[in-house]
Structure 1
Amino acid sequence: MEQLLVHLRSLGFTEMESKIMVELASIGQSSGYEVAKRLGVSRSNVYAALQRLTQQGYVRCGDGEPARYSVLAPEELAKMISGRVEASLTYVEKEMPRGGSVSATFYNVEGERNVMDALIRQLNAAEHEIVVDVWREEASLLRSELEQAERRGVRLLWAFDGGNAASPYLPWQPLAGSAESEGRKFSFVIDRRWCMLGMRGEDGAQAVVTEHRVLVELLLAHFTQEMVLFELEQDMGPELERRYGHRYGDIYRRYIGGDGEKSTAEEDMPAEEVAGREQA
């Protein structure tokens, strides 16, 4: 019930109108008094809402005393709403002024639905390339849109993380406090002009969206670096481990281990040897 009311409100109906329509659909033809009594609200508010709904054609008013009201059948209601929304969207697209210039800015998007809507719009408009760096859970939510883009001839570049996808030779250690429980990071770069960088978790989703060239290039560079390292390790991982030993892990952890975080190898060293390595 609550979810139905949410969707009716998102279509432009007020809280009162939504409740009245659902109530009429549940109990059938009723007077305004009966509806007000069942909803536990004032009759004046109910009659005002019924008048608006009747004038708009969503509710019918029968003859008699007292007047009895009924809502359109679900399929009729959906068809009427769809037609009016489509007509409004067409008018807005045609008549909305287009002259103003907009500089590239960063803006935040919060909430699962808002993040997904913003992303799906761009995926559906992609013409040349989509760079995807996501966890498998998020990729599955966008499978249809990504498959459609590929069928249109859009080039897809993928990077997945299923939680244990790290190479056995890459000594990856997450930054302190960046546990998966805080959320799963994702990024998209579309046609090398638009990008979204965000996180999705139990508390919902939030993201930063921009067409600013700096962030677009940073995300592309990060993606390229990760893919190059991955391919090198597929070909040379055992050889790198053989030649460098723990030093290979130290090189990587020096830059991703976090401020003040020691590598495993350093933790096993005498304090004076670690100090000597840091000075070097």
Structure 2
Amino acid sequence: MEQLLLHLRNLGFTEMESKIMVELATKGQASGYEVAKQLGVSRSNVYAALQRLTQQGYVRCGEGEPARYSVLNPEELSTMISGRIQTSLAYMENEMPRGGPVTPSFYNVEGDRNVLGALIHQLNLAEQEIVVDVWREEATLLRSELEQAELRGVRLLWAFDGDNAVAAPPAWTPLGGKPPRSDGRKFSFVIDRSWCMLGMRYSDGTAQAVVTEHPVMVELLLNHFTQEMVLFELEQDMGAELEQRYGDRYSSIYSKYVMHSEDGQE
């Protein structure tokens, strides 16, 4: 019942209208007094809602005293609502003003479903290029959308973390702050060199991401991807020599720039 009421509200009906329509559908027909008594609400509110629903054509008012109301059957309701929504959507698309350029901004997306939903939507809009820097777990979740993009002729550029990953620098420890969560996997996507998402998925199923079309962030992520790929190729060609000279994973180089706090102190 609650799910039905929720979807009716999503279609534009008020909570009162939704409850009245479900009640009428359950009873077949009823007077305004009977509906108000069943719902435990004031008759004036019920009659006002019934008048709106009748004027809109969703509810029929029968002859007699007292008047008895009935709601359209589900198929009729669906056809009527769908037609009106499609008409409004078409009008909005044609008539909505198209203003000047909007300054690129950043916005946050939280929750695994919301993050993946926003990403999948954008992947389906990709026209030329997708730059992907992910762990294999996230790549698996998006396999279908990435394959469809390739079939459309979109170029995919990959950098995988996980097995055979590119050597990554150590994490920067917060200065005097609480250490970051260690169970997360970073990911980034740059689509058509104009839209990007940078985020983290955690082992408990939560996720957070930043989305932007700001050219500076797009360029930073593309440069980071390029550097990873260059480092990967260098490792393939000169891995043993690099490790002999600079140490495993080049820690002697990284240590000059990344300072680790001990008990919150530098």
TM-score (norm 2): 0.74
The amino acid across from 1:91 in the alignment is: Y
The amino acid across from 2:214 in the alignment is: H
Change (3 A) 1:127 1:66: same
Runs of 5+ in structure 2 lacking a partner?
174-178
Correspondence for 1:187: 188
Query: Would the aligned equivalents of 2:167 and 2:249 in 1 still touch at CA under 8 Å?
Result: no
Number of aligned residues: 256
Query: Would the aligned equivalents of 1:169 and 1:241 in 2 still touch at CA under 8 Å?
Result: no
Q: Does 1:223 align with 2:222?
A: no
CA distance in structure 2 between the aligned counterparts of 1:235 and 1:71, rounded to whole angstroms: 74
Residue 108 of structure 1: how far off its partner (Å)? 1.6
* Among candidates 250, 253, 266, match of residue 251 of structure 1: 253
Residue 61 of structure 1: how far off its partner (Å)? 3.4
Change (3 A) 1:117 1:244: closer
RMSD between aligned residues: 3.6
Correspondence for 1:10: 10
CA distance in structure 1 between the aligned counterparts of 2:197 and 2:29, rounded to whole angstroms: 49
Change (3 A) 1:87 1:67: same
CA distance in structure 1 between the aligned counterparts of 2:46 and 2:187, rounded to whole angstroms: 47
Secondary structure of 1:125's counterpart equals: coil
Secondary structure of 1:179's counterpart equals: coil
Residue 79 of structure 1: how far off its partner (Å)? 3.3
Correspondence for 1:58: 58
Query: Would the aligned equivalents of 1:105 and 1:211 in 2 still touch at CA under 8 Å?
Result: yes
Instruction: Report the identity percentage.
Output: 72
Correspondence for 1:101: 100
Greater helix share, 1 or 2?
1
Change (3 A) 1:114 1:260: closer
1:84-99 superposed matches below 5 A? 84-98=84-98
The amino acid across from 1:170 in the alignment is: A
1:1-280 superposed matches below 5 A? 1-98=1-98, 100-112=99-111, 118-135=118-135, 138-139=138-139, 142-161=142-161, 165=162, 167=164, 170=167, 173-176=170-173, 177-179=179-181, 184-199=185-200, 206-233=208-235, 236-246=238-248, 248-255=250-257, 257=258, 259-260=260-261
Residue 203 of structure 1: how far off its partner (Å)? 8.9
Query: Would the aligned equivalents of 1:166 and 1:172 in 2 still touch at CA under 8 Å?
Result: no
When structure 1 is superposed on structure 2, of 3-12 and 44-53 the one drifting more is 3-12
Runs of 5+ in structure 1 lacking a partner?
262-280
Secondary structure of 1:127's counterpart equals: coil
